[in-house]
Amino acid sequence: MRLLQVCVAVVVVCAVAVCAQPEEEAPPPTSGSPVSPSPVSDPAAPSDSSPAAGSMEVAAHLWAVIGRYRFAATADRVRVTLVQPSGRSDMLSFVVRCVPGAAGLVRLELGELIVVARQGEMRAVHAKDPTTFVELRASAESTGPAGVVRELLPPLALPQLSLAFDPAEVDWCPLVTGLRWESAERLLIEGHDGVRLRGRTDIGEARLDLAGGRVRRFEADLDTEGTRLIIECEPFDPGDPAEWVLEVEGRRMVDRLEALRPLGARVRVGERLPRIEMLTVDTQEELVLGGDPDAGLAGKSRLHAVLLLRDDAPAAETEAIVASVLAGMTECRRELLRGRIDGRYAKRVRLVDLVGVIQAETSGGILDRLNTQAEAWHRAAGSVLPAESVSPVLAWQADGSRLLDRLSPGARAVLVMHDDRGTIRAVLPMEAETSSEAVRDALVAGVPGIQE
């Protein structure tokens, strides 16, 4: 968490760079030549004879930085390193892209989390999950992109945000206080003329490198014990900002950033059904699905259907899906009976039962949503099954496995058929419009033939 917090210091750095100039003009250069930085460890390490830079030269570089970020799209790879007194280093890398102005946007690539903030709102997706997204709104619709990021994300202030969006006055950060510049040196970074400011804070030394109209590196001591903050910025071509916007069509909205996580490996026909631990909705009894791999050869002849449902599905949708599944299973059983008679299927092949599993995916109000789904489940069963029949078991689970999306990304519901050994024989994505004939055909196609 501290590594995230130290990123706040970057805003202070650039705020100072924007507003400050050296109090006295440095002496004119005497000898030596500009230094080309290494892009890895210390990108600019001038010697004692590096040319000094005058106040007007420093001001020119500062205003070049301001103009670049304030009036054009920018993109930077940022690496934040926290060096401990012991020599241990913690590093955080990310990408920040900005289109300045209140009507602009910020795109952050924080590892696998991708965030786009615009005026008043923010969207986020996980790079390894094509099925979900988050949309959050700031407390005021007029909040600009940088304000949205600061309000809705943990402290992760960046120099690019400050330069592209902040007004003239800057909020000072307690991590770097009393910053004052004492000297300036000329640099040559990747072929660009630049300047390095050296100074002190209340607790140690600081340094800021600017070149080519961009912030390149900042360093500062964070405590008297020797903890050092290093922030490196590598600019690159921003491309077309129109392509930065997150496309969320076909994704399902979740209600919090914590719900964005890797989807996990796809689960396909022929593989084992992952173990499902759940509670029945009516009695809260524990129930486990997944089959027994030691069931033997006969285990492939007993077939079981599992219908995975989303907890926030409309009741009418759930009712239509369940009715189609139950009717399709009835038709499948008739087909299996004919197949056993004419020798297409083994005599012991049976479609035994159906279990419904509600995957709890959203926070808050879970009991109300379970009740809504249970009522729709029983209405559908009552409309399809004979009057004396008992409704199939309906259960629910906290959806840590994301099984529904791993079986069929983005589907509203999924019907799975597996045998006693847990081998998946059929997978059918379900919608309210899915017919009982489609259910029958999918199930029949997964039934093992006489030769299996």
- For 208-218, the pLDDT digits (tens) are 898 998 989 98
Give pLDDT, residue 41. 46
CB atoms within 10 A of CB 67: 12
Q: Using the 8-state DSSP alphabet, how is residue 89 labeled? A: E
Q: How confident is the model at residue 451 (pLDDT cuts 50, 70, 90)?
A: low
- In this predicted structure, which of 36-50, 204-218, 241-255 has the lowest mean pLDDT? 36-50
Angle at 15 between CA 14 and CA 16, to 5 degrees: 90
Give the start-to-end residue ranges of the domains of the chain: 2-238+246-258, 267-446
Give pLDDT, residue 176. 75
CA distance 271 to 439: 20
Q: How confident is the model at residue 437 (pLDDT cuts 50, 70, 90)?
A: very high
% of the chain at pLDDT higher than 90: 49
| Run of H or E residues at 26 | none
- Structural contact between residues 417 and 443, judged by C-beta atoms closer than 8 angstroms: yes
- For 400-412, the pLDDT digits (tens) are 678 999 999 989 9
CB atoms within 10 A of CB 340: 16
Give pLDDT, residue 179. 78
Homologous superfamily (CATH) of 267-446 is Glutaredoxin (3.40.30.10)
Give pLDDT, residue 399. 67
The closest of 210, 207, 199, 214 to 228, measured between CA atoms, is: 207
Give pLDDT, residue 323. 98
Main-chain dihedrals φ then ψ at residue 365, nearest 5 degrees: 65, 25
**332 phi-psi bin (left φ>0, alpha ψ -120 to 50, beta other):** alpha
Give pLDDT, residue 23. 35
The closest of 157, 137, 151, 165 to 73, measured between CA atoms, is: 165
**292 phi-psi bin (left φ>0, alpha ψ -120 to 50, beta other):** beta
- For 56-90, the pLDDT digits (tens) are 878 788 888 888 988 999 999 999 899 999 989 99
* Residues in CB range of 414: below 8 A, 6 or more apart: 307, 308, 404, 407, 408, 427, 428, 429, 430
Does residue 113 have a pLDDT over 80?
Answer: yes
Does residue 245 have a pLDDT over 80?
Answer: yes
What SS3 string covers 250-300?
Answer: CCEEECCHHHCCCCCCCCCCCCECCCEEEEECCCCCEEEECCCCCCCHHHH
Q: How confident is the model at residue 134 (pLDDT cuts 50, 70, 90)?
A: very high
Give pLDDT, residue 58. 80
Q: Please, is 236 exposed, middle or buried when counting C-beta atoms within 10 Å of its C-beta (0-12, 13-18, 19+)?
A: exposed
Mean pLDDT of the chain: 83
* Residues in CB range of 355: below 8 A, 6 or more apart: 287, 289, 304, 305, 306, 307, 392, 393, 394, 395
- In this predicted structure, which of 189-193, 249-253, 267-271, 360-364 has the lowest mean pLDDT? 360-364
Residues in the chain: 452
Greater confidence (364 vs 100) lies with 100
Does residue 424 have a pLDDT over 50?
Answer: yes
Give pLDDT, residue 182. 85
How far CA 217 is from CA of 80, 188, 415, in Å, comes to: 10, 13, 54
Give pLDDT, residue 12. 31
Using DSSP's 3-state secondary structure scheme, residue 3 falls into helix
Q: Using the 8-state DSSP alphabet, how is residue 242 labeled? A: G
Strands (DSSP E) contained in 68-149 are 74-83, 89-99, 105-110, 113-118, 121-126, 132-137
